[in-house]
């Protein structure tokens, strides 16, 4: 399935979440890593459960509403085009001019899978196999000031203690599957 670029005037709104160590009423697209999956931007997710599962102790979950009307939105699926876009962003080569980029999070939190390609240890198609392991979570990157202006803060909630058992089980399963696939690739 190919990625799509949406440029329409249909009025739609999306509820999104961002976890931080503080309340963020006015998001800054220039804060954070330049070499993140979708480049520089303010990252959110529409998946409320995911947000709370990944929150650490003393985190703040911020809730927003994005008015999509008039925004250029690029939507990726977990495929080669998505892989190439992330690989380029990790090397600071963002080639999109969209206000908003939506797509799966690259599951390489344990190892820098994309970085291993540049060492020659993995071929791109092998790294792609590793990035497809585990559950698929969606991220939304607000990339322009126009996009930020259409993001309305709703509320925030302080999380004091999290029960990390579900997250730990998921991370353990991911690490095991990743190691098994990496072993198959390198045999």
The answer to whether 134 touches 177, Cβ cutoff 8 Å, is: yes
Q: Which two tokens stand for residue 127?
A: 């790294």
| CA distances, 149 to each of 31, 66, 69, 88, 154 (Å) | 16, 9, 12, 27, 14
Q: How far apart are CA 30 and CA 26, in angstroms?
A: 12
The answer to whether 183 touches 115, Cβ cutoff 8 Å, is: no
Q: For each of the chain's 187 residues, which pLDDT tens digit applies?
A: 666 666 655 668 999 999 999 999 999 999 888 888 899 999 999 999 888 877 877 889 999 999 999 999 999 998 889 988 988 887 788 778 899 999 998 875 545 666 666 666 777 788 777 777 778 889 999 999 999 999 999 999 998 766 666 667 777 777 787 778 778 887 7
SS3 call for 10:
coil
Whole-prediction pTM:
0.82
Strand-strand pairing, 100-104 and 73-75: parallel
């Amino acid at each position: 399935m190919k990625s799509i670029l949406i440029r329409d005037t249909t009025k739609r709104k999306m509820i999104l979440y961002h976890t931080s160590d503080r309340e963020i009423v006015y998001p800054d697209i220039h804060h954070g890593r330049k070499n993140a999956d979708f480049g520089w931007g303010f990252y959110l997710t529409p998946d409320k459960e995911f947000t709370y599962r990944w929150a650490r102790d003393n985190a703040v979950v911020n809730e927003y509403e994005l008015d999509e009307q008039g925004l250029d939105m690029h939507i990726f699926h977990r495929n080669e085009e998505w892989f190439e876009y992330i690989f380029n962003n990790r090397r600071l080569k963002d080639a999109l001019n969209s206000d908003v980029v939506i797509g799966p999070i690259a599951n390489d939190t344990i190892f820098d899978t994309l970085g291993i390609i540049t060492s020659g240890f993995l071929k791109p198609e092998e790294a792609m196999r590793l990035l497809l392991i585990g559950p698929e979570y969606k991220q939304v990157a607000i990339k322009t000031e126009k996009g930020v202006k259409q993001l309305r803060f709703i509320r925030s909630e302080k999380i004091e203690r999290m029960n990390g058992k579900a997250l730990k089980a998921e991370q353990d399963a991911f690490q095991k599957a990743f190691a098994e696939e990496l072993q198959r690739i390198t045999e």
